[in-house]
């Protein structure tokens, strides 16, 4: 990515996900950086603590910014545009790109590089437009070590409507990970159901972490959106909302400051599910 930015004539300030937050914010402020690129959860954690900076554009990867997070960043830092860097995997390379009309997890298939399928995880059959399937990719460029029908581990759906950009390449929308659906105390739980409640709760970042202890005891861990200490009663309020939205789901709630959730060391992604059973 850095060589591409250089070819475009853009100044680039590369940071790793392990760079101290204070150093990143200092560079944003001192050099007047207005565009930030990175994993959504890392960008969210850094900007939650940023003061005295203006960010106009955020390019994200890993997972899309939810509308609640977008609204908060627009108000706090004046962000005008959110866009996906692209969809890819280490093994398969680039698999999707986002035009200016794509939002959230929507992408066009890089159909000159890969053949992308959405398959029913249980039967392996292709799913129809609008139905949820597992992303399976075949690389068209890897000839020395071919990648054939590789299971990426993501869920998505085909978008049947033509894109306003005019491109003929198929469009799809990413909908989370295959392991986001799990069994808990005899019932199937979808991470997206819990995410929807958290995303609609003011003051919280839309990246909950679910911890399942032995005996199917579930704890929903979330971070504050603005990096501040959790407000009194916020955890109880979220638990009440979860109980109302998902009857029968008995979950404890822990609200942490930004950066408090366990992350993958190399990438900085929030670990969505920690199953200790």
Could you give the CA distance from residue 194 to residue 210 in angstroms, rounded to a whole number? 9
* Number of other CB atoms surrounding residue 246 within 10 Å: 17
Q: What is the chain's pLDDT, residue by residue, as a tens digit (277 residues)?
A: 677 788 888 888 888 777 888 899 999 999 999 999 988 888 888 888 888 888 999 999 887 787 778 888 888 888 999 999 999 988 888 999 999 999 889 999 999 999 999 999 889 999 998 899 999 999 988 888 889 999 998 999 999 999 999 999 999 999 888 877 788 878 888 888 898 899 888 888 888 999 999 988 999 999 988 767 788 889 999 999 999 998 888 899 999 987 788 877 656 678 888 889 8
**From CA 158, how far away is CA 171, in angstroms rounded?**
6
| Tokens 């409640």, residue located | 197
- Rounded to the nearest angstrom, the gap between the alpha carbon of residue 137 and the centroid of all alpha carbons in its chain is 20
Any residues with CB less than 8 A from the CB of 244 and at least 6 apart, and which? none
Structure tokens at 263: 């992350």
Which of the 8 DSSP states describes residue 154?
A: E
pLDDT, residue 64, reads 78
Count Cβ atoms within 10 A of the Cβ of residue 209 and give its class: 0-12 exposed, 13-18 middle, 19 or more buried: buried
pLDDT tens profile 151-208: 998 999 999 999 999 999 999 999 888 877 788 878 888 888 898 899 888 888 888 9
Tokens of 39: 């994993």
Could you tell me the strand order of the sheet in which 93-97 lies? 87-89, 93-97, 106-109, 171-177, 150-159, 133-139, 114-119
Q: Give the up-direction half-sphere exposure of residue 51: CA atoms within 13 A in the CB hemisphere.
A: 5
pTM of the model: 0.74
Run of H or E including 73: helix 67-77
Is 59:83 a contact under the CB 8 Å cutoff?
Answer: yes
Q: Which of 256, 262, 239, 240 is nearest to 204 (CA)?
A: 256
Q: How many residues does the chain have?
A: 277
DSSP-based three-state secondary structure for 125: coil
Q: Which residue in 108, 121, 115, 125 sits closest to 92, CA to CA?
A: 115
């Amino acid at each position: 990515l850095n060589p591409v930015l250089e070819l475009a004539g853009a100044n680039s300030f590369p940071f790793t996900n392990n760079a101290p937050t204070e150093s990143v914010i200092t560079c944003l402020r001192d050099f007047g950086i207005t565009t930030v690129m990175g994993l959504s959860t890392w960008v969210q954690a850094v900007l939650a603590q940023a003061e005295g900076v203006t960010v106009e554009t955020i390019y994200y990867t890993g997972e899309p910014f939810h509308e609640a997070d977008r609204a908060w960043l627009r108000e706090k830092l004046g962000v005008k545009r959110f866009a996906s860097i692209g969809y890819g995997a280490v093994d398969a390379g680039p698999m999707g790109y986002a035009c200016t009309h794509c939002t959230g997890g929507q992408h066009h298939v890089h159909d000159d590089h890969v053949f992308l399928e959405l398959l029913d995880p249980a039967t392996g059959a292709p799913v129809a437009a609008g139905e949820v399937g597992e992303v399976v990719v075949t690389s068209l460029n890897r000839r020395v070590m071919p990648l054939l029908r590789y299971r990426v581990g993501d869920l998505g759906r085909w978008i049947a409507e033509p894109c306003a950009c005019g491109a003929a390449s198929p469009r799809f929308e990413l909908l989370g990970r295959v392991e986001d659906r799990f069994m808990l105390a005899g019932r199937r739980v979808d991470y997206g159901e819990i995410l929807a409640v958290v995303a609609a709760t003011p003051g919280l970042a839309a990246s909950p972490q679910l911890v399942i202890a032995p005996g199917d005891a579930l704890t929903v861990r979330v971070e504050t959106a603005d990096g501040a200490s959790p407000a009194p009663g916020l955890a109880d309020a979220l638990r009440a909302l979860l109980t109302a939205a998902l009857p029968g789901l008995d979950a404890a709630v822990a609200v942490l400051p930004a950066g408090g959730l366990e992350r993958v060391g190399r990438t900085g992604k929030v670990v969505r599910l920690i199953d200790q059973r």
